[in-house]
Structure 1
Amino acid sequence: MIEKILPSWVAAEEAFDDPPDATLFPEEEAFIAPAVDKRRREFTTARHCARRALARLGLPPAPILPGERGAPRWPPGVAGAITHCAGYRAAALSLDALTVGIDAEPDEPLPHGILADIALDRERAALARLGGGVHWDRLLFCAKETVYKAWFPLTRRWLDFDEAQITLSPTGTFTARFLVPGPWVLGQELTGFAGRWLASGGLLMTAITLCPTDLSRVRTHAYGRSVGARPD
Structure 2
Amino acid sequence: MIESILPAAVVAVEVYDDPPEAVLLPEEEPVIAKAVDKRRREFTTVRHCARRALARLGRPATPILPGDKGAPQWPDGIVGSMTHCAGYRAAVLALDTDLHTVGIDAEPHVPLPEGVLAAVSLPEERAHLAALGSDVHWDKLLFAAKESVYKAWFPLARKWLGFSDARVEFDPAGTFRATLLVPGPVVEGVEITGFSGRWVVDNGLAVTAIAVPTKAD
TM-score, with structure 1 as normaliser = 0.91
**Matching of residue 13 in structure 1 with residue 20 in structure 2:** no
Q: How far does residue 42 in structure 1 lie from its aligned partner after superposition?
A: 0.2
Aligned to 1:100: 102
Q: How far does residue 214 in structure 1 lie from its aligned partner after superposition?
A: 8.3
State how far apart, in whole Å, the 2-side matches of 1:134 and 1:17 are.
25
3-state SS, counterpart of residue 98 of structure 1: strand
Give the counterpart letter for 2:180 in structure 1.
Answer: F
**Matching of residue 91 in structure 1 with residue 100 in structure 2:** no
More strand by share: 2
Q: How far does residue 132 in structure 1 lie from its aligned partner after superposition?
A: 1.8
State how far apart, in whole Å, the 1-side matches of 2:34 and 2:79 are.
28
Aligned to 2:49: 49
**Matching of residue 60 in structure 1 with residue 60 in structure 2:** yes
Give the counterpart letter for 1:152 in structure 2.
Answer: F
Aligned to 2:25: 25
Q: Deviations over 1:104-130 (max 9, x none)?
A: 000000001000000000000000000
**Matching of residue 189 in structure 1 with residue 191 in structure 2:** yes
State how far apart, in whole Å, the 1-side matches of 2:56 and 2:124 are.
41
3-state SS, counterpart of residue 210 of structure 1: strand
State how far apart, in whole Å, the 2-side matches of 1:22 and 1:131 are.
40
Q: Deviations over 1:36-64 (max 9, x none)?
A: 00000000000000000001111111000
Aligned to 1:40: 40
Unaligned stretches of 5+ residues in structure 1: 216-232
Moved over 6 A (4+): none
3-state SS, counterpart of residue 13 of structure 2: strand
State how far apart, in whole Å, the 2-side matches of 1:147 and 1:119 are.
13
Give the counterpart letter for 1:4 in structure 2.
Answer: S
Aligned to 1:161: 163
State how far apart, in whole Å, the 2-side matches of 1:99 and 1:212 are.
9
Give the counterpart letter for 1:185 in structure 2.
Answer: V
Q: RMSD across aligned C-alpha pairs, in angstroms?
A: 1.0
State how far apart, in whole Å, the 1-side matches of 2:189 and 2:216 are.
13
Between the two proteins, the alignment pairs up a number of residues equal to: 215
Give the counterpart letter for 1:56 in structure 2.
Answer: R
State how far apart, in whole Å, the 2-side matches of 1:196 and 1:213 are.
20
Q: How far does residue 213 in structure 1 lie from its aligned partner after superposition?
A: 2.7
State how far apart, in whole Å, the 1-side matches of 2:60 and 2:171 are.
38
Q: Deviations over 1:8-43 (max 9, x none)?
A: 110000010000111111110111111000000000
State how far apart, in whole Å, the 1-side matches of 2:190 and 2:21 are.
45
Unaligned stretches of 5+ residues in structure 2: none
State how far apart, in whole Å, the 1-side matches of 2:21 and 2:57 are.
21
3-state SS, counterpart of residue 129 of structure 2: helix
State how far apart, in whole Å, the 1-side matches of 2:216 and 2:39 are.
35
Aligned to 1:210: 212
Q: Deviations over 1:57-80 (max 9, x none)?
A: 111110000001110000001000
Q: 1:15 and 1:159, CA in 2 relative to 1: closer, same or farther beyond 3 A?
A: same
TM-score, with structure 2 as normaliser = 0.98
Aligned to 1:69: 69
Q: How does 1:115-134 map to 2 (within 5 A)?
A: 115-134=117-136
